[in-house]
Structure 1
Amino acid sequence: MKISKFYFFVLFLFLIFSFSACGKKDLSDQNQNGKNEEKQLGANVSNEESYFSKSVEDLFAEGKPLQCSATVESGEGSVVMNYYFDNNGKKLRVESQTLNKASNLNINSVSILDDNWYYFWDDLTNKDGMKMKVEENQENVKDKNIDENNNFDMKEEFDFKCKSWKVDSSMFDLPKDKTFKDLTSLMNGFGTNAPTINNEQSGTAPSFGNGNSVDACSYCNMLPAGSDRDECLDACS
């Protein structure tokens, strides 16, 4: 898959659907027995780093103040993600660093879950951020019966490296210099036509152009022609 798709779906849909995989899980050199012993998180996570095979959904449900990291790789690039869970299972911050190997382009992004909204922004487009209502999207996914081929598995496990952290509430604050465009209707518009990870896309994929900038509006071209695509193009312009 192309790095542009890899970037978009890992950093946005990846968060929305509890980070289903879009590449090879890293940390494969960790001792398997050690991971199995640590798999049940319990109340024993300390300031020392521990390794787990868990889903983001499970870690979030623990309701414990955790700072975790994971890496996703493909032949086109890699994403290193750092997660900050609050201590009551209500807020999550994800800081991601994406590398496009072909152009040596590095992209930094931040995603925040707060009060049933996901917020996302990066340092690539220098535009306003994006947001999406969680409940509406989850209901839509259920109604559309998106199958396993789309890799939107809310329970997929990753190899995480975690430790406890003293929760800093400011980490979940939104930047005051950005407004966030509501893309709930855009994501709902994918419906059963949601792009798959393993198959060729029917739409036109977003482009990184000369490797230094991205055409954010080209994401909208993955939607079927109609009002949803028009609304998307209007929102990103």
Structure 2
Amino acid sequence: MKNNTNKLISFALLFVLSLTLTGCSIKNPISTLIKKQIDKVAEVPEKITGSFTDLINAGKSLKCTYESDMGGTKISGTTYVAGKKMRTDSTVNIDLGQGPQDMGSHMIMDGDYFYMWTEGSETGTKMKISSVEGYNSGDSTDSSIPDSFKSNTNEALNQIKENFDYNCMLWLADSSMFETPSDVTFTEFNLSNMGSFGLP
């Protein structure tokens, strides 16, 4: 009986050892699934001409790069899209009177709000998407809204709607990319708190 027990133990040890040595050849459904996802991400880049909205409406998880020259101001960046969420990290080469300088900026759209901040800043701005989409200064008859606000808002909207030539690849979405930084304080920008932004 004891001899049989020893044989069983020896057989079990040999079985475990064989699994360890040949583990690489065992098909794992999880690793296979991950490989399929990686293969999707590694597809040939797709060229898309359109706006941020067009990328979202494409219905894909995308990582896109773009470059543009707008009146001598060079803009380049990377945009990440997943579902109705989007993030853009961009660099603007601009001359503020002290020679050309690169200025980094970021924007996140989480489905409800736009969040915008510049590189190195401890403060940022957020705007409700529904209020931005419904805003058209040309339709506004409210004399209490300063022309400067209308102009700046239209400029921001034009940038959001601006068409770029994107080089896109499918992207295995990372939800952390759509989280706002914890070290930046965001102030909501709307018509009721224009005074806090130095507007009358």
The alignment's TM-score, normalised by the length of structure 1, stands at: 0.52
Is the aligned partner of 1:172 residue 2:178?
A: yes
**Deviations for 1:115-159, whole angstroms, at most 9, x for unmatched residues?**
3200011125x231111111012222288279xx97849765431
Match of 1:83 in 2: 79
Specify whether residues 143 and 77 from structure 1 end up closer, same or farther in structure 2 by C-alpha distance, changes over 3 A only: closer
Give 1:140-151 correspondences, 5 Å limit.
140-141=135-136, 144=139
Tell me the equivalent position of 1:97: 91
Structure 2 CA distance for aligned equivalents of residues 112 and 169 of structure 1:
12
How many Å separate the matches in 2 of 1:133 and 1:77?
A: 28
Bigger radius of gyration among the two: 2
Unmatched tracts of structure 1, length 5 or more: 1-43, 187-226
| Secondary structure at 2:136 match in 1 | helix
Larger relative helix fraction: 2
Equivalence map 1:186-225=2 (5 Å): none
Secondary structure at the aligned position of 1:231 is classed as helix
Q: Percent identity?
A: 27
* Aligned counterpart in structure 2 of residue 160 of structure 1, from 161, 166, 171: 166
CA deviations on 1:17-40 (whole Å, 9 max, x unpaired) are: xxxxxxxxxxxxxxxxxxxxxxxx
1:63, distance to aligned residue in structure 2 (A) = 1.8
Residue of 124, 129, 132 corresponding to 1:134: 129
1:72 touches 1:78 (CA, 8 Å); kept in 2?
A: yes
**Alpha carbons 1:71, 1:78 under 8 Å: kept:** yes
Counterpart selection for 1:184 from 182, 185, 190: 190
Aligned CA distance change for structure 1 residues 58 and 131 (closer, same or farther; 3 Å): same
Gaps of 5+ in 2: 1-39, 141-149
Pairwise CA RMSD: 3.1
Deviation at 1:180, TM superposition (A): 0.1
> What is the Cα deviation at residue 77 of structure 1?
2.2
Structure 1 distance, partners of 2:135, 2:174, is: 33
Cα 1:74–1:158, aligned 2, differ >3 Å: closer, same or farther? closer
> Conserved in 2, the CA contact under 8 Å of 1:137 and 1:184?
no
SS in 1 for 2:176: helix
Instruction: Name the CA distance, whole Å, in 2 between partners of 1:120 and 1:156.
Output: 17
In structure 2, relative to structure 1, the CA distance for the partners of 1:156 and 1:45 (3 Å cut) is farther
Structure 1 residue 113 corresponds to structure 2 residue 78: no
How far 1:162 moved relative to its partner?
0.6
Moved runs in structure 1, 4+ residues, more than 6 A? none
Cα distance in 2, alignment partners of residues 155 and 122 from structure 1? 20
Cα distance in structure 1, aligned partners of 2:92 and 2:162: 21
The structure with the greater share of residues assigned to strand is 2
Q: What is the TM-score with the length of structure 2 in the denominator?
A: 0.61
Indicate if the aligned counterparts of 1:97 and 1:106 stay in contact, CA closer than 8 A: yes
Relative contact order: is structure 1 or structure 2 higher (C-alpha 8 Å, sep ≥ 6)? Answer: 2
Change (3 A) 1:165 1:153: closer
- Does residue 1:53 correspond to 2:49, yes or no? yes
